[in-house]
Structure 1
Amino acid sequence: MRRGRRIIAVLVAALVIAAAGVAAAYVLRPAATPEPEPAGEPAAEGQPQPEPETPTVVEESATPVTMAEAPTRTTATDDGLTVTAPDAFLATDELAAVSAAIDQLEQEHGASVSVVLLDLQTRRGITYNADVARYPASSIKAVYCAYVCESAGGPGALAATMESCLVDSDNDAYHELLDMFGLGAWPGWLTAHGAPVTARRAGAYYYPETTASELATIWEEIWRYGTSGEKGGAELASCLARTNHSPIGAELRDACEVWAKPGWYPADGSGLEATNDAGVVFSAEGPYVMVVMTDLSSDLDALRPLIDALDAAHTCMCGDTVAYYE
Structure 2
Amino acid sequence: MPFPTTFVEHFLQQTPFVFFVYDVASQRVTYINSAYERLLNGHSDQVNEELADLIARVHPDDYEHAADCWQRWQAGRLHEAFELHLLTLDGSDQWLSITPYLFTDAEPGLQLGGLVQDITVTKVAMWHADKYNSKKNTTLEILSHDLAGPLAMLQQMSDYIQEAAAPLQNAELTSMIEHMRVLCRDSVNLIHDFVDHEFLDSVNVELKRERVDLVEKLRLIMEEYQASAPALHKHFVFEAKVAPLYLEIDQNKLMQAIGNLLSNSLKFTPDGGTITLRVEQQQGLAIVTVADTGIGIPQSVQAGLFEKFTHARRPGLRGERSTGLGMSIIKSIVELHQGRIYFHSQEGEGTVFTVELPLLDEQVNTPLG
Same fold, judged at TM 0.5 (above) = no
TM-score scaled to structure 2, two decimals? Answer: 0.22
- Larger-Rg structure: 1
Higher relative contact order structure (alpha carbons within 8 Å, sequence separation ≥ 6) = 1
TM-score scaled to structure 1, two decimals? Answer: 0.24
Query: Going by fraction, where is strand more abundant, 1 or 2?
Result: 2
